[in-house]
Amino acid sequence: MEFLRAVSSAEALAIIGSFRADPMKETTGINDVLHRILSEDVVSQEDIPSFPRSLVDGFALKVKDIQGAKETNPSFLYVQGEIRIGEATRIELEDGKCVYLTTGAMIPEGADGVVMQEFARPAGDAIEVTKTLHKGENICFQGEDIAKGAVVLQKGRKLSAFDVGVLSVIGMSVVPVYKQPVAGIISTGDEIVSVEEAPPFGKIRDINRYTVANLLKGSGAVCNFLGIGQDTVDSIADKLQLARECELIILSGGSSKGQRDCIADAVLRLGGEMLFHGINIKPGKPTIFARLWGKPVFGLPGHPNSCAMVMMRFVLPLLRRMKGEEGYRERTMPGILSTNIPSTSGVEEYVKVTIREIDGERYVSPIFSKSSVISSFVDASGYVIIPEGKDGCEKDEKVEVYLF
Amino acid sequence: MEFLRAVSSAEALAIIGSFRADPMKETTGINDVLHRILSEDVVSQEDIPSFPRSLVDGFALKVKDIQGAKETNPSFLYVQGEIRIGEATRIELEDGKCVYLTTGAMIPEGADGVVMQEFARPAGDAIEVTKTLHKGENICFQGEDIAKGAVVLQKGRKLSAFDVGVLSVIGMSVVPVYKQPVAGIISTGDEIVSVEEAPPFGKIRDINRYTVANLLKGSGAVCNFLGIGQDTVDSIADKLQLARECELIILSGGSSKGQRDCIADAVLRLGGEMLFHGINIKPGKPTIFARLWGKPVFGLPGHPNSCAMVMMRFVLPLLRRMKGEEGYRERTMPGILSTNIPSTSGVEEYVKVTIREIDGERYVSPIFSKSSVISSFVDASGYVIIPEGKDGCEKDEKVEVYLF
C-alpha cells in the first residue's frame, strides 16, 4: 500500500476542500422546499405589494388637509366612499375628502396617509380627524416590501420557513434547488452485528451506522445503508461496489491498523487513490480520505466518539459543498472555562463540554471520556477546539463552544 | 360577541401554558426517529460494552509484571496467544505473559492493562515492554460506557443523531416516541389568492400558509392545509369544520377588525370558547386564542411579519408541549446593541436584528420594518425582546438575541 503520512487538521480540510463538488440542480414544489438549498438567485418579477396598501383600519386622506389637526381643533373631511379589502378601487380622492378602508385595502389615487379609526370621530357623512399625520403614514407602498427586479434570495441559501414565505409572496410555486447528495454508508468490522441481533459474546452492535446516517440526514443528504463488511479486502471491495451510484461514500470501522489497511487496500484495488491516511487530531486520528470513481470516500474510525467528531469536523463541510450550500455558519457560543483542559501539542483536540449559566455568564466544563464511549454525547452541549499549537486551555480562559 | 380585553404577553403565555396537552404515544423504527420525542425513559438492559475491550492495538498484560519498565530496562513477557476482534476468548492470562490483541478485542481474564504496540519490542516468542502502565490503562471496562439498568435517555428528549447511536448500541431497534401533532392550517381573507394564481389587481398571494406550515413542520408537526376562507362567518366556520380531526388549528388573516370578528364569531358559533382576544405585543397584537372541540385554536394576524412572530413566541411553545418535548431551550446569543431601540411602554416588542462580529465582540443592530413586510426576515439573524416595562434599549446595552 502506498504510504501517506498523517496530515494536520488544516491540511485535511484543504485537501477535502479542494475535492471537486458539482451539485446537481432540480426543481421542487413549494410545499417541499424547507431546508433545501436554492440553486439559482431568486429575482422578483413583481413589485410587492403590487399596489399601495393600508396598514390599519381607518381613513385614507391627503395629509395637507389635516395640517394642525388635534383633539381640540379637529379637521373636517367628507367621506367620499369605502374601499373593501381585495377590491381594485377606481376612486380618485378629492381635496377635503377621505375614504374609509380596512387594513390591507388598496389606497386610492391621491391619498398620502391613513388615519386610524380611533383618531377619526364620525360626524354625519363626514369625520373629524383629531391628529396630524406625516406623509406616507400607515401606508405600505407599492414595491416597499420587495421591488421588481430585486434579488430576494441568493443561490446557495438554505431555505427557512420565512424564505418559503418570501417565495410564495412572489408567486414562485416551483423552486430551483440543488439535488440532495446520495451517501452510501458501510460499516465494517468482524465484531459488528446489526442492531436487531443479540450480539454473541465478544461482538458489539453497529452504532456508527446510525450516528453517521443521522448526521448526514440532518444535514440534507439521502442515505443508503449498504450493510456490514467483514475485515477482508474482498468483503469491503464488494460493499464499495454497491456504492458505485452514490455521490459520497462513508465507511466506518477500522479501529485497528489491520482493519484500516483492509479499507485502504479495497479502495486501491478498485482503482481509487488515497488522499490522506490519518489526521493529527484527537479523537479521530485514524481517518482515511480517498477518491474512488471520482467520488469522495471517507474511512472513519470505528470508535463511535471519534467517528462522530470526524463526521462533524470533516465530512459535513464537504457534504454542504456537495449540496451547494453557501454561507453556512457553525452555531457557536462564547463561554468561560471553569477548569483547565490539558492537551497534547501538535494535535488538534476536540473536547466535549457542558455549558452552565450563572448570573448571565456562561461557564464551560469539559467532559473527559474514552474514545469508544458514545454516551458522553448525551450530556454534552457541544465541544471546544484546542488548536494543535496550543498546550491546553486554562481556567477562566474565554473559549468558543461549537454547539451540537 | 363576548368581550375580552387584550392580555399581556405573560398572561397569554400562562393561558396557553395551561391549555391541556396530552401527547399520544406510538413506536417507530430506529431508522426514522431523528428529531422525534422519546415517550418513555430508555433504560439499558445490558452493560455496554458487555465485555472489557482494548482501546488500542497492543498486548494485554498484568501491570505488576512490568513495574519499572523503561526503554533502557524493558520488561520481558512471553506471548501466550492472540485474541482477534469479535472473538470470545477463553484465554486466562498467566503471570509473566501477555496476549496480542487489536483495538476493540476482548481483554483476557487476568489482564489489567494493554501496552500499545509501539512500546513493545518483538523478541522471538516474547516481547520487551519499554514503558509502565497504570492499572486499567487502554481498557474500556464492561459497563463503562453504559451500565445495565441506567436511564440513558429521558422521556421528553428530542432525539439527536448521537442519541440514535445510543439507542442502537443498547439494541433498541423500535423506539417509543410521541405522535407528531396534526395541525390544520386555514388562511382567511377576501384579498388572498393561492400562490399558483396571478393575483387580480387589489389582491395578494397567500404567504402565511407557507410560513405557518414550515414553522410547524420544522418543529415537528404534521400539517394539513385546509384552504382559504372568505371573510364571512359561514365561510370560516366551514373551513373550521374541516379541521375537526386536527389537534391544533391555526387560522391566519384577520388584519382588520371586521375580519377578526368573523374568525371569533365562527369559533363561537361552533361552540368554541374565546380564551383571549389580543395580546399587548408589537407586532402581533390582533391575536386570538380559543378552545374549540377541546382543541387549541389560534387566530393569527394577517400581516406576515406579525403572524410569524406570534408563531414563534406563542404557537410553537404549545406545539412543543403537545408533542411531549421537555427541556427545550431557545437558541440565543448575547450581543451589544450598536444603536438605541425606541419602544412603547406597556407593550412587549420584538425587534428583528442582525449580528455582526468585530474583534470577537458581537454587535447587534435593529432592522426596522413595517408589519406587512416579510422580506426583513431574510436579512435578520434573530430578534430581541423589549419587555413591556421598558422604555426601549440603549446603545451599548447587552441584549440577548433569539436566533432564527
- Give residue for cell 384577520: B254
Rounded CA-CA distance B9/B314 in Å is 9
What residues in A contact B102, CB-CB < 8 Å? Answer: 255-259
pLDDT at position B5 is 74
pLDDT at position B101 is 95
Instruction: Give start and end residues of each alpha helix (H) in B298-390.
Output: 304-310, 316-322, 376-379
A347 and A394 Cβ atoms separated by less than 8 Å:
no
A399 and A335 Cβ atoms separated by less than 8 Å:
yes
Q: Does B30 sit within 8 Å of A377, measured CB to CB?
A: no
- Count Cα atoms within 13 angstroms, Cβ side, for A285: 14
Long-range CB pairs of A257-262, under 8 A, 24+ apart, other chains included: A257/A286, A257/B57, A257/B102, A258/A231, A258/B57, A258/B102, A259/A188, A259/A189, A259/A231, A259/A302, A259/B85, A259/B102, A259/B103, A260/A286, A260/A288, A260/A299, A261/A1, A262/A188, A262/A231, A262/A232, A262/A233, A262/A236
Q: What are phi and psi of B210, to 5 degrees?
A: -80, -40
The closest alpha carbon to A210, from B252, B161, B66, B381, belongs to B161
Alpha-carbon distance B270 to nearest alpha carbon in chain A (angstroms):
26
Rounded CA-CA distance B175/B183 in Å is 23
What residues in B contact A258, CB-CB < 8 Å? Answer: 57, 102
CATH 1.10.287.130, domain B9-24+179-322, yes or no: no
Q: Does A88 sit within 8 Å of B202, measured CB to CB?
A: yes
**Cell (9 digits) for B163:** 442519541
What residues in A contact B259, CB-CB < 8 Å? Answer: 85, 102-103
Alpha-carbon distance B371 to nearest alpha carbon in chain A (angstroms):
8
Q: Least CB-CB distance to B169: which of A172, A205, A303? A: A205
pLDDT above 80 (res B3): no
pLDDT above 50 (res A84): yes
Residue type, A108: P
| Residue-wise pLDDT tens digits, A111-132 | 999 999 999 999 999 999 999 9
- Count Cα atoms within 13 angstroms, Cβ side, for A54: 32
CATH architecture assigned to B26-46+144-178: Alpha-Beta Complex (3.90)
pLDDT at position A371 is 67
| Residue-wise pLDDT tens digits, A121-167 | 999 999 999 999 999 999 999 999 999 999 999 999 999 999 999 99
For residues A92, A95, A100, A102, the Cα torsion angle rounded to the nearest 10 degrees is: 70
Per-residue exposure over B175-191, b if at least 16 CB sit within 10 Å of its own CB, e if not: bbbbbbbbbbbbbbbbb
Alpha-carbon distance A227 to nearest alpha carbon in chain B (angstroms):
14
A385 and A330 Cβ atoms separated by less than 8 Å:
no
| 3 state DSSP class of B16 | helix
Rounded CA-CA distance B88/B145 in Å is 20
Give the residue on A whose Cα is nearest the Cα of B361. A334
Q: Least CB-CB distance to A171: which of B106, B195, B331? A: B195
- Residues in a beta bridge with B269: none
Q: Least CB-CB distance to B378: which of A166, A172, A331? A: A166
Q: Does A377 sit within 8 Å of B162, measured CB to CB?
A: yes
Give the residue on B whose Cα is nearest the Cα of A174. B196
Q: Does B201 sit within 8 Å of A51, measured CB to CB?
A: yes
* Cα–Cα distance list, B37 to B12, B161, B319 (Å): 26, 13, 12
Give every CB contact of residue A237 below 8 A, 6+ residues apart in sequence.
Answer: A266, A269, A270
Q: Least CB-CB distance to A104: which of B199, B210, B302? A: B302
User: With left for phi above 0 and alpha for psi between -120 and 50, is residue A189 left, alpha or beta?
Assistant: left
pLDDT above 60 (res A1): no
Rounded CA-CA distance B92/A355 in Å is 45
- Name the band, by pLDDT with cuts 50, 70 and 90, for residue B158: very high
DSSP letter (8 states) at residue B341: B
**Cell (9 digits) for A388:** 494543535
pLDDT above 60 (res B1): no
Q: Does A86 sit within 8 Å of B202, measured CB to CB?
A: yes
Task: Provide the angle, in degrees to the nearest 10, between the axes of the packed helices A161-169 and B208-218.
Answer: 160
DSSP letter (8 states) at residue B366: E
Rounded CA-CA distance B114/A166 in Å is 60
**Cell (9 digits) for A65:** 388637509
Residue A396 burial (10 A CB sphere; 0-12, 13-18, 19+): exposed
- Residues in a beta bridge with A393: A341
Residue type, B18: S
Give the angle A357-A358-A363 at the CA atoms, nearest 5°.
Answer: 55
What residues in B contact A106, CB-CB < 8 Å? Answer: 202
Q: Does A373 sit within 8 Å of B304, measured CB to CB?
A: no
pLDDT at position A2 is 47
Q: Does A104 sit within 8 Å of B189, measured CB to CB?
A: yes
B78 and B98 Cβ atoms separated by less than 8 Å:
yes
- Name the band, by pLDDT with cuts 50, 70 and 90, for residue A183: very high
B170 and B48 Cβ atoms separated by less than 8 Å:
yes
**Cell (9 digits) for A147:** 421591488
What residues in A contact B170, CB-CB < 8 Å? Answer: 205
Mean pLDDT calculated for residue range B227-255: 95
pLDDT at position B2 is 47
Q: Does B103 sit within 8 Å of A168, measured CB to CB?
A: no
Q: Does A370 sit within 8 Å of B214, measured CB to CB?
A: no
Q: Does B256 sit within 8 Å of A103, measured CB to CB?
A: yes
Alpha-carbon distance B378 to nearest alpha carbon in chain A (angstroms):
6
Share of chain A above pLDDT 90, in %: 88
What residues in B contact A360, CB-CB < 8 Å? Answer: 334, 398
pLDDT at position A360 is 81
* Cα–Cα distance list, B50 to A81, B104, B396 (Å): 82, 12, 56
Task: Name the average pLDDT for chain B.
Answer: 94
First to last CA, chain B: 37
3-state secondary structure labels for all residues of chain A: CCCCCCECHHHHHHHHHCCCCCCCEEEEEHHHCCCCEECCCEECCCCECCCCEECCCEEEECHHHHCCCECCECEEEEEEEEECCCCCCCCECCCCEEEEECCCCECCECCCEEEEHHHEEEECCEEEECCCCCCCCCEECCCCCECCCCEEECCCCECCHHHHHHHHHCCCCEEEEECCCEEEEEEECCCEECCCCCCCCCCEECCHHHHHHHHHHHCCCEEEEEEEECCCHHHHHHHHHHCCCCCEEEEECCCCHHHHHHHHHHHHHCCCEEEEECECEECCCCCEEEEECCEEEEEECCCHHHHHHHHHHHHHHHHHHHCCCCCCCCCEEEEEECCCECCCCCCEEEEEEEEEEECCEEEEEECCCCCCCCCHHHHCCEEEEECCCCCCECCCCEEEEEEC
* Cα–Cα distance list, B4 to A276, B187, B259 (Å): 69, 23, 17
Q: Does A152 sit within 8 Å of B88, measured CB to CB?
A: no
Mean pLDDT calculated for residue range B122-138: 96
Mean pLDDT calculated for residue range A290-304: 96
What residues in A contact B53, CB-CB < 8 Å? Answer: 372
Q: B332-403 belongs to which homologous superfamily?
A: MoeA, C-terminal, domain IV (2.40.340.10)
Q: What CATH number belongs to A31-45+144-178?
A: 3.90.105.10
| Residue-wise pLDDT tens digits, B38-95 | 999 999 999 999 999 999 999 999 999 999 999 999 999 999 999 999 999 999 999 9
| Residue-wise pLDDT tens digits, A25-52 | 999 999 999 999 999 999 999 999 999 9
| Residue-wise pLDDT tens digits, A268-284 | 999 999 999 999 999 99
Q: Least CB-CB distance to B211: which of A164, A195, A215? A: A164
A332 and A400 Cβ atoms separated by less than 8 Å:
yes
Residue type, B388: E
Domains of chain B by residue range: 9-24+179-322, 26-46+144-178, 53-140, 332-403
pLDDT at position B344 is 86
Task: Name the average pLDDT for chain A.
Answer: 94
Share of chain A above pLDDT 70, in %: 99
Q: Does B35 sit within 8 Å of A161, measured CB to CB?
A: no
Mean pLDDT calculated for residue range A199-218: 96
pLDDT at position B4 is 65
Q: Least CB-CB distance to B34: which of A167, A218, A375? A: A218
Interface test with A, best of B53, B168, B285 (most A CBs within 10 A): B168
pLDDT at position B69 is 95
pLDDT at position A368 is 83
| Residue-wise pLDDT tens digits, B164-221 | 999 999 999 999 999 999 999 999 999 999 999 999 999 999 999 999 999 999 999 9
Task: Measure CA A16 to chain center.
Answer: 20
Domains A31-45+144-178 and A53-140 share a fold: no
Interface test with A, best of B106, B193, B196, B211 (most A CBs within 10 A): B211
Give the residue on B whose Cα is nearest the Cα of A106. B202
| Residue-wise pLDDT tens digits, B354-398 | 999 998 889 999 998 776 678 889 989 999 999 999 988 999 999
pLDDT at position A3 is 53
Rounded CA-CA distance A403/A336 in Å is 15
* The listed CATH number (2.170.190.11, 1.10.630.10, 3.50.30.10, 3.30.1330.20) that belongs to domain A53-140: 2.170.190.11
| 3 state DSSP class of B10 | helix
DSSP string, B217-277: HHTT-EEEEEEEE-SSHHHHHHHHHHTTT-SEEEEE---SHHHHHHHHHHHHHTT-EEEEE
| Residue-wise pLDDT tens digits, A302-357 | 989 999 999 999 999 999 999 999 999 999 999 999 999 998 889 999 999 999 99
Q: Does B165 sit within 8 Å of A308, measured CB to CB?
A: yes
B303 and B283 Cβ atoms separated by less than 8 Å:
yes
DSSP letter (8 states) at residue B199: P
Q: Does A211 sit within 8 Å of B161, measured CB to CB?
A: yes
